[in-house]
Amino acid sequence: MFVHAHPDDESIGTGATMAHYAATGAHVTLVTCTLGEEGEIHVPDLAQLEAAQADQLGGYRLTELRQALAALGPIDHRMLGGAGRYRDSGMMGTPANEHKRAFWGADLDEAADHLLKIMDEVRPQVVVTYDPNGFYGHPDHIQAHRVAMRASELAAERGFGPAKIYWTAMPLSVLKAGVEALRDSTDNPFAAVTDVSEFPFGTPDEEVAACIDGSDFHDAKVAALKAHATQIPDTSWLYSIAGNFGQEFMGVEHYTLAVGDRGRGDGPYGWETDLFAGLPE
């Protein structure tokens, strides 16, 4: 089960992992917490859907999300509390944080109860969400982390908690390699970056627990990103990295292990190659 904040996060952060496990026949559930109503719009013809005008972007992003999931494989998709229950809170400190339905202001136990109901039905062995900083500090990502962890705690009290909980992560070695790979690129989005510590994310390699190689699903992930056209323009840094550093960046996704026991792993830090490592077959 993947718990994500907005339509597009599932593809950007865990698209290759989701496609990998969907292809193995695992039951992959995605829970999306908001419709992304406050997002930018990189498709000029749709500019008037923005929150300040028609305020229809959320509904449109749900169609983008469904198209993205079709590219990733059979995915059981749920909206937390039903579509429209929680609203995209906007970037930290913006007025949208105060909207009466903003996810950032949601009652934690009420939101966790919505997720608990899905967990009781699906009984996930593994849950994937963000770290306490929401990977990069977005309020909806931080709240998604809190709701996922609270629901998992309540599920465990009821005897159906997940055996393992992972948080998305970007190893510093991969960040460094990505910045280096783009250094001579004409459209280097990170040209101003002098040190990877400037990024709001990045995990020391020794703290990473799992590296899921979904390179076989690189194209599926790119197709899913393309589906999110209002958020990810063709000029996005995501694609420039794909061109210069694609397989490693786009097809391989990393995680820290927040709950559960690590299974057998590879390499200098014993990174698991399977999120189900160590669980009974």
Ligand X SMILES: CC(=O)N[C@H]1[C@@H](O[C@@H]2[C@H](O)[C@H](O)[C@@H](O)[C@H](O)[C@H]2O)O[C@H](CO)[C@@H](O)[C@@H]1O
6 contributes a contact to ligand X by CB under 6 A: yes
Tell me the window of 73-81, 88-96, 173-181, 240-248 that interacts with ligand X (CB under 6 A).
Answer: 88-96
CB 149 within 8 A of CB 108: no
- Tell me if 218 is assigned to a ligand binding site: no
Those residues with Cβ within 8 angstroms of residue 264's Cβ, 6 or more apart along the chain or in another chain: 270, 272, 277, 278
Looking up tokens 């309540």 gives 154
10 counts as binding Zn ion under rule CB under 5 A: no
Cα 39 to Cα 207: distance, rounded to the nearest angstrom:
32
Closer CB to ligand X, residue 64 or residue 272? Answer: 64
Number of residues that bind Zn ion (CB under 5 A): 3
61 touches Zn ion by CB under 5 A: no
- By CB under 6 A, residue 88 contacts ligand X: yes
Half-sphere exposure of 52 (CA within 13 A, CB side): 6
Q: Which of residues 43-82 bind ligand X (CB under 6 A)?
A: none
Minimum distance from residue 57 beta carbon to ligand X (Å): 8
Which listed option, Zn ion, ligand X, none, makes contact with residue 15 (CB within 5 to 8 Å by class)? Answer: none
* Residue 214 is a binding residue for ligand X (CB under 6 A): no
> Helix/strand/coil (H, E, C) string of 182-218?
HCCCCCCCCCCCCCHHHCCCCECHHHCCEEEECHHHH
Residue 234: count of CB within 10 angstroms of its CB: 8
Is 141 labelled as part of a ligand binding site?
yes
Residues in the annotated binding site for Zn(2+): 6, 9, 141
Residues within the interface to ligand X (CB under 6 A):
6, 8-9, 12, 36, 38-40, 88, 90-91, 138, 231
